Chain A
């Protein structure tokens, strides 16, 4: 019996261990093509994994498809994937059987739910796709969904240290409302965005409100007839001479620079101290970590104290620093800098850091349960117990899943266009001082707002070495 169990356990452990490279590495074929900019092959690699649409990584499968198709300009197909990703977020329910299983193996057996900012980005891309297709009414639907998601986010957390409000999403809502000539709602969105940039983003991400937001806020206040508010903000921004002007047409240009961070795994060894009453202490003296774990059962305590060291795996982000230092648009002899409005890299890293205590607790509970099981079995069968110990060690992994095709940062600019044909240069600034210019031509109708996104997938070389290098 013991031998059969050993064989089954070892086979299971090897399977789980094989499945537990970081998420980035399991997607090596897709990531390689995507980062090289070969989107057709990236999409092919992605869609060869059809079965994943229903698997534990369903959300990531959907959003990666949606994002790649959007960059390729296949907006309708892209939105089909993003709609499914949105519905996934709406209908998501924790599968507690998998949650329980994760405490005996690792969190990778659970369905990936998606980070808060990832769910907002689903609707951001969806709204942009609609805008680029000229379907403004549909974009407005996404705008309302974004508003609900933002309300859910602010209701979810109370601490001002958490990422609980998104300034860029409010800005985007304002841009969409403004494009629809709903200046009143645009003003509300811009004013909310300004408050969040000033109160949250400056403190949490060192990101200040773009100057364009100030102009948009003033314009929409004036066009709504909110003259008191207009005067108040004009003075506050130090733009006393500013007079709103409506150009013949406009272009809103979004620049997706670089790639978001990837999660990797790091392990910490904890020693167990059981000398305190009714609790055990998980201690890592090198890192100054000290977690108390209530344990009032003498038997449990003695089981745990029989073990010296616990290895617990946790996720952490590794940044992929951007390659391009900045960018600007040149039109009609005027230069318009792209202003950073969203730091997705910073949001991701900050969100994980803020919930690290929870991650530690879950990891330590997992380790404790695994070890307690091992010790119980050891009492009956030493060989099987030892084998469970090996399996526990092999299966100890962190959840390294995240939406890795998102940009590192999002910048934008709003520029005036003339009715008819317009040529605009998009100039990217390289690290050595060089420039790389793209030329675009836009056909604008009177009072129309055009939308364009440009994705730079390049990142600086980082210590993170992908599997294929």
Chain B
């Protein structure tokens, strides 16, 4: 036994591990801890925007407008127990909307304020021929916002987490809810 322990310890000493790094494609799904991750954000954004643009309600709205509706992405409230990077999640929605060509996207309040400051400064400092005018902003027709919740069932080193993302698309002028969508991701985690 002692000799075997000795052999084991010596083997461990020789085969000491070192860190390895491998580059993987960003769309590869890798689940390590079971918590919300980049794959979940991307899947939810892709699927829900697809559902939205394919919905008869949205198509009807666009037909009434007779042009591409203009969307602004608002806040996505996080009611889960995890710190999910909402900004990153919102950007993913914006990318999908922008690439879809089905709707136009306007800047959210965070960047809009910076643009307005820039426009104001142009009035004083830019070449008059290139100064951008006030009052020409594209007004959004619709605001996309929503919330995330999670239900957790935990027992005997096993955990089931059901993440529910709910999105609302609402007409800014009338407050009419044009579209309502929900997407669930359920995970079983064994420790």
Selected contact of B5 from candidates A147, A151, A188, A365, CB within 8 Å: A365
Secondary structure call for the A interface: helix
The one of B10, B19, B78, B157 in contact with A188, judged by C-beta atoms closer than 8 angstroms, is B78
A-side contacts of B83, CB under 8 Å: 144, 147, 173, 185, 188-189
A96 touches B86 (CB 8 A): no
**Residue count of chain B within 8 Å CB distance of chain A:** 27
Per-residue 0/1 for B3-36: is the Cβ within 8 Å of any A Cβ (1 yes, 0 no)?
A: 1011001101111111100000000000001010
Output the least CB separation between A169 and chain B (Å): 12
- B66 part of interface (Cβ distance < 8 Å): no
A94 within 8 A of B: yes
**For the complex, is B133 an interface residue (Cβ under 8 Å from A)?**
no
Q: Cβ of B77 < 8 Å from any Cβ of A?
A: yes
List the A residue with the shortest CB-CB distance to B14. A96
Asked if B138 is an interface residue, CB under 8 A from chain A, the answer is no
Least CB distance from B148 to A in Å reads 10
How many angstroms between the C-alpha atoms of A295 and B5 in the bound complex?
10
Q: Which residue of B lies closest to A97 (CB)?
A: B13
A188 with B77, Cβ < 8 A, contacts A93-B17, A295-B1, A297-B2 known: no
Separation of A188 and B78 alpha carbons in the complex (Å): 8
With both chains docked as a complex, state the minimum distance between the C-beta of B70 and any C-beta of chain A, in angstroms: 25
Q: A173 to chain B: which residues have CB within 8 Å?
A: 83
A225 to B13, CA, bound (A): 56
Q: Is B130 an interface residue (CB 8 A)?
A: no
- B79 within 8 Å of A (CB atoms): yes
CB B166 to nearest CB in A, in angstroms, measures 15
Smallest CB–CB gap between B1 and chain A, Å?
Answer: 4
Q: Check if B174 is an interface residue, CB within 8 A of chain A.
A: no
Contact between A94 and B16, CB atoms less than 8 A apart: yes
A192 to B2, CA, bound (A): 47
CB distance from A101 to the nearest CB of B (A): 8
Are A296 and B1 also in contact (CB < 8 A) when A96-B13, A100-B12 are?
A: yes
> In the assembled complex, which residues on chain B have CB atoms less than 8 Å from the CB atom of A95?
16
Residues of B within 8 A of A300 (CB): 1-3
Interface residues of B in 34-56 (CB under 8 A from A): 35
Interface residues of A in 236-264 (CB under 8 A from B): none
- Interface residues in A321-375 by Cβ distance below 8 A to B read 365, 368-369, 372
Partner of A99, one of B12, B19, B80: B12
Q: Which residues of B contact A192 (CB under 8 A)?
A: 81
A177-218 vs B: 1/0 string, CB under 8 Å? 000000011001101100000000000000000000000000
- Interface size for A (C-beta < 8 A) is 34
B191 lies within 8 A of chain A by Cβ: yes
**Does A294 belong to the interface (CB within 8 Å)?**
yes
B82 within 8 A of A: yes
Decide if A103 is an interface residue (CB 8 Å cutoff): yes
CB-based contact A93/B9 at 8 Å: no
Known: A158-B191, A369-B2. A96 touches B16 (CB 8 A): yes
CA of A185 to CA of B5 in the docked complex: distance in angstroms?
Answer: 49
Determine whether the beta carbon of A184 is less than 8 Å from that of B77: yes
* A155 in contact with B33 (CB, 8 Å): yes
Residues of chain A with a CB closer than 8 A to B1's CB = 294-297, 300
Q: How far is the CB of B110 from chain A (nearest CB, A)?
A: 12
Determine the chain A residues whose CB is within 8 A of the CB of B35 once the complex forms: 151
How far apart sit A297 and B86, CA to CA, in the bound complex (Å)? 61
Contact A93 B80 (CB under 8 A): no
Cα distance, A229 to B78, chains bound together (Å): 13
The answer to whether A224 has its CB under 8 Å from any CB of chain B is: yes
A226 within 8 Å of B by Cβ?
yes
Residues 286-330 of A at the B interface (beta carbon under 8 Å): 294-297, 300
Least Cβ distance of B32 to chain A in Å? 9
Q: Which residue of A lies closest to B10 (CB)?
A: A100
The answer to whether A372 touches B2, judged by C-beta atoms less than 8 angstroms apart, is yes
Q: Is the CB of A100 within 8 A of B13?
A: yes
A296 to B2, CA, bound (A): 9
Establish whether residues B78 and A368, one from each chain, have CB atoms under 8 Å apart when the complex forms. no
**Which A residues lie within 8 Å of B82 (CB)?**
188
Do residues A369 and B5 form an inter-chain contact, with CB atoms below 8 A?
yes
Q: Which residues of A contact B81 (CB under 8 A)?
A: 188, 191-192
- With beta carbons under 8 angstroms apart, the residue of B2, B9, B33 that contacts A295 is B2
**Closest chain B CB from A7 CB (angstroms):** 26
Whether A184 lies near B9 (C-beta < 8 A) is no
Cα A297 to Cα B7 with chains together (Å): 15
B35 — nearest CB in chain A belongs to which residue? Answer: A151
**Contact B16 A93, beta carbon cutoff 8 Å:** yes
Contacts of B2 in A (CB 8 A): 295, 297, 300, 368-369, 372
Report A132-170 residues with CB < 8 Å from chain B CB. 144, 147, 151, 155, 158
Q: Does the CB pair A93–B6 fall under 8 Å?
A: no
Q: Name the residue in A93, A100, A155, A300 with the highest tally of chain B Cβ atoms < 10 Å from its Cβ.
A: A100
Residues 76-102 of B, flagged 1 when their CB comes within 8 A of A and 0 if not, give 011111110010000000000000000
Task: Kindly state the separation between the CA atoms of A368 and B35 in the bound complex, as whole angstroms.
Answer: 43
Smallest CB–CB gap between B125 and chain A, Å? 28
The distance in angstroms between the C-alpha atoms of A354 and B60, with both chains bound, is: 64
Q: Tell me how far the C-beta of B114 lies from the nearest C-beta in chain A, rounded to whole angstroms.
A: 16
**Chain B residues whose CB sits within 8 angstroms of the CB of A97 once the complex forms:** 13, 16
| Pairs across A and B, CB under 8 Å, 29 listed | A93-B18, A96-B9, A96-B14, A99-B9, A99-B12, A100-B9, A100-B10, A103-B9, A144-B83, A151-B35, A158-B157, A184-B78, A184-B86, A185-B78, A188-B78, A189-B83, A191-B81, A224-B77, A226-B77, A226-B79, A229-B79, A294-B1, A296-B1, A297-B2, A297-B3, A300-B2, A365-B5, A368-B2, A369-B6
Closest 9 CB pairs of A and B: A96-B16, A96-B13, A295-B1, A100-B13, A100-B9, A96-B12, A97-B13, A372-B2, A300-B2
Q: A294-B1, A295-B1 are in contact. List 4 more A-B contacts (CB 8 A).
A: A96-B16, A103-B9, A296-B1, A297-B1
